Chains A and B, each alone.
Chain A
Amino acid sequence: MAAKKRERLDVIRDILQTIRQNREIKPTRLLYASNLSPQMFKEYINELISKNFIKLEIGEKDKKTFSLTKKGQDFLQEYKIIENFIENFGL
Chain B
Amino acid sequence: MSLYSLILANKWLLEVLYAFIIALICAVIVIKTDKFFRLSLHQGIRYFRNAFFFFGVGFIAKYIFGLLSDLNFSFVYVAQVIFEYFLVMAGFFLLYSLVWRRFESSREEYFSSLFNAKIAVFHVMALVIALLDDIWRTYYFMFASQIIIFFYASIISFANLRRNRNKYKFQKFYFVAMLLGLIAWTLNLLAPLYFNWSSEILINIGIINIIFFLLFLYGVIKVTKTE
Contact = CB atoms under 8 A, between A and B. Distances in A.
Interface string B22-45: 000000000001001001111011
B160 to A, nearest CB: 4
A85 interface: yes
Contact of B219 (A9, A81, A88): A88
A91 B97 contact: yes
Interface residues of B, number: 30
A82 B11 CA distance: 41
B40 A9 contact: yes
A90 interface: yes
A84 B45 CA distance: 12
B45 A87 contact: no
B161 to A, nearest CB: 9
B204 interface: no
Contacts of A8: 106-107
Nearest to B98: A90
A89 B164 CA distance: 12
Interface in B196-227: 219-220, 223-224, 226
A51 B170 CA distance: 31
A86 B44 contact: yes
Nearest to B105: A8
A89 B219 contact: yes
Nearest to A81: B224
A49 B3 CA distance: 59
A7 interface: yes
A90 B223 contact: no
B43 to A, nearest CB: 8
A34 to B, nearest CB: 15
B98 A85 contact: no
Given A88-B219, A90-B160, A82 B174 contact: no
B169 interface: yes
A85 B223 contact: yes
Contacts of A86: 42, 44-45
Interface string B158-180: 00100010011111001000000
Contacts of A79: 40
B53 interface: no
Interface in B31-64: 33, 36, 39-42, 44-45, 47-48
* Top 3 A-B residue pairs of the complex, sorted by shortest distance between their CB atoms: A91-B44, A88-B170, A90-B160
24 contacts: A8-B106, A9-B106, A74-B39, A78-B39, A81-B223, A81-B224, A82-B36, A82-B45, A85-B36, A85-B223, A86-B45, A87-B164, A87-B168, A88-B168, A88-B169, A88-B170, A88-B171, A89-B44, A89-B174, A89-B223, A90-B156, A90-B160, A90-B171, A90-B174
